Amino acid sequence: MAPLIQLAHVHKLYRMGDEEVPALRDVSLQIEQGEFVAVMGASGSGKSTLMNVIGCLDRPTSGRYLLDGEDVSTLGRNQLARIRSERLGFVFQHFNLLARTSAQENVELPLLYAGVTSAAERSERALRALTRVGLGERAQHQPNQLSGGQQQRVAIARALVNDPKLLLADEPTGALDSRTSMEVMALFQELSAAGITILLVTHEADIGRCAARVLTMRDGAIITDERQTPVRARIPTPLERVA
């Protein structure tokens, strides 16, 4: 089977006034179906740019990107929107849920743009996704009635509702305390075990340890690519947290 993600000599340049700043330099990478990959690196190392390119939010300046065998490096804005809608799910650092909108409606959002016109189907799929992240009972809660960890789980349900090929998470624990971070990571591991491909960007080492493969970036290039036995995410006991 072809790899889910194939990057070949991908470059990305940003224009800053007159200067061109390279954000990605000659990145080549393959990710197989079902992998759980963490991208690590200091800020400015290019990990977010890599994520944006893989997430079809941005196009490489040069090089080729095959997603699920299809060359997406030259697609237009609306074609990329279709790819995102059908094959990708996003989780952000700041959850980015719509305020004053119920969890269920937030989760239904991608279905709206994917052209699911039946309200009953949207609601049913949204509830299923919410149940999967353990929030089936809080479908009618609004974001401000939910804790940070719960909000992030709603966001994960939103990313899952389209049955994506790939789940992209940009610093998903960045706005959470260590306890809820681990709760969220446990959920990611569960989804990974269920066969979902996950690409996670983080700068925290203990979050990276939860993935099966870690890419380290510096100055726009991948400097290490290691497979590891993931550490099982578990909630630290109060004693450990004091220590």
Partner 1 sequence: MNTLSIARLSTRALLRNKLRSFLTMLGVVIGVGAVIAMVAIGEGAKRRVEETFESMGTNLLIVMPGSASSGGMRGGFGSQATLTWGDLAAVRTELKAVRTAAPVMRAGVVVQSEEQTWTTGLIGTSTEYFTIRNWRASSGRMFSEDEVESSAKVVVLGRTVVTNLFGAADPVGQTVRIRAIPFLVVGVLEGKGQSPMGSDYDDTLVTPYTTYSSKIAAGLGKFIAGSMFVSAMSERDTGRAQAELESLLRDRHRLAPGSDDDFSVRNLAEVARAQEQGTQILTTLLAAIATVSLLVGGIGIMNIMLVSVTERTREIGVRIAVGARSWDVLAQFLGEALALSLAGGAVGILFGLFAAAQLARLYHWPFLVHADVIVMSVGFSAAVGVVFGLYPARKASRLDPIEALRFE
Number of residues that bind partner 1 (CB under 8 A): 29
- C-alpha–C-alpha distance, residues 78 and 135, integer Å: 32
Bridge partners (DSSP) of residue 13 are 22
**Strand ordering across the sheet containing 213-218:** 88-91, 166-170, 197-202, 36-40, 213-218, 221-227
Could you tell me if 35 and 197 are in contact, meaning their C-beta atoms sit under 8 angstroms apart? yes
Tell me if 17 contacts partner 1 by CB under 8 A.
no
Tell me if 99 contacts partner 1 by CB under 8 A.
yes
Closest CB 113 distance from partner 1, rounded Å: 4
Write the interaction track for partner 1 spanning residues 163-182; mark x where CB under 8 A is met and - where it is not: --------------------
How far does Cα 4 stand from its chain's mean position?
15
Amino acid, res. 212: A
Which CB, 9 or 94, lies closer to partner 1? 94
Which CB, 13 or 109, lies closer to partner 1? 109
Tell me if 21 contacts partner 1 by CB under 8 A.
no
Residues 23, 47, 54, 58: which binds partner 1 (CB under 8 A)?
58
CA distances from 152 to 44, 74, 218 (A): 25, 32, 28
* Subset of residues 111 to 150 that bind partner 1, contact rule: CB under 8 A: 112-115, 117
Could you tell me if 166 and 5 are in contact, meaning their C-beta atoms sit under 8 angstroms apart? yes
Chain residues binding partner 1 by CB under 8 A are 52, 55, 57-58, 77-78, 81-82, 84-86, 90, 92, 94, 96, 98-101, 105, 109-110, 112-115, 117, 158, 162
